[in-house]
Amino acid sequence: MDFDPAANHGHVPVMRDRMAELLAPAVEAYGDAAVIVDGTLGAGGHTEHFLTVFPRARVIGVDRDPNALAQAGERLARFEDRFAPVQARFDAISQPILEGEGPAFDAVRERGVAGALFDLGVSSMQLDQPERGFAYKVDAPLDMRMDPSAGITAADVLNTYSHGDIARILKTYGDERFAGKIASAIVKEREREPFTTSGRLVELLYDTIPAASRRTGGHPAKRTFQALRVEVNGELEAVEQVVPVITELLGPGGRVVFMSYQSLEDKIIKSAFAELTASKTPPGLPIDLPGTAPEFASITNGAEKAPAEEIDLNPRAAPVRVRGIEKIDLPNSH
């Protein structure tokens, strides 16, 4: 495995080889008509690998962040029309993919998508751009929008949400046990002066979270920053909505794989996949009744994790949970 960060523009794609392995049966079966949708293009590491190991396949790379699309586009320029960029939130890809122009889009309209990958959460590239306000280790504007041209910022959330809503977000999206206490401190502090930069929020968190709790569980700001990012970008809503979108776009035998880095995302995927792979036949009958057989089959055994040697080399792989399904080629599906 190639873990040279320089070769990957400083960003190491998590479980890169395994992702290709999971999509390979479908991509190879589709031959020249194979199109992979990389729903979370980021720095383009997974896409670059797919275009290299599947020389007949094309990739439609989706990202809502115009900076990511521009940078990945430069990195992938050598693949010419085998790579097609799309700017969209990944749960809004149906229209741009079904109406796009070029060989990749033509192939999808004809045969459906052969493979799809969603590497959820914030990309390492965004975390590494201090001015975007995703990271708590540098003082930067509290923005956190993946698409910097749309929607509310993290500062807007801190300065306008009610005490109850701030506490709910911190508890639900950040699993923060001091959510209520932090929300009270935020409301009190913003009356003095609205929040604009991350440094002041980090300071407030240090002052609010008891010292004993700060010693364990990583940086005390980590959970609050995650919660704000999820809220600002509607991340969980996008994850819920993308499953029906991508499963509809898959062709017969097509595969989709999701990589989740936090339990809330994984829970949504696990429950959606459980429903898609379940038979609708009433329990107790020996065979599936017509029209009740599941349309999808699982291609992972539960949630797969990154191997220990990869986590040693790339700590960002530690929390990942991978789940994949395949669209069954039912006899009357053509």
Indicate the annotated binding residues for S-adenosyl-L-methionine: 44-46, 63, 90, 119, 126
Between CA 102 and CA 331 the distance in angstroms is 30
DSSP secondary structure string, 110-171? Answer: HH-EEEEEEE-S--HHHHT-GGGS--SSS--BS---SSTTSS--HHHHHHHS-HHHHHHHHH
Query: If you ran DSSP here, which 8-state letter would residue 33 be given?
Result: G
User: Cα(198)–Cα(95) distance, rounded to whole angstroms?
Assistant: 36
Distance CA 245, CA 150 (A): 22
Quote the tokens at residue 199. 């440094």
Binding-site members are 44-46, 63, 90, 119, 126
Q: With CA atoms as reference, report the closest residue to 120 among 282, 206, 199, 229.
A: 229
DSSP string, 170-185: HHHHH--TTHHHHHHH
Residue 274, judged by CB atoms within 10 A of its CB (0-12, 13-18, 19+), counts as exposed
For the chain, what is the radius of gyration of the CA atoms?
Answer: 21
Rounded Cα–Cα distance for residues 68 and 42 (Å): 5
Q: What is the DSSP letter of 7?
A: T
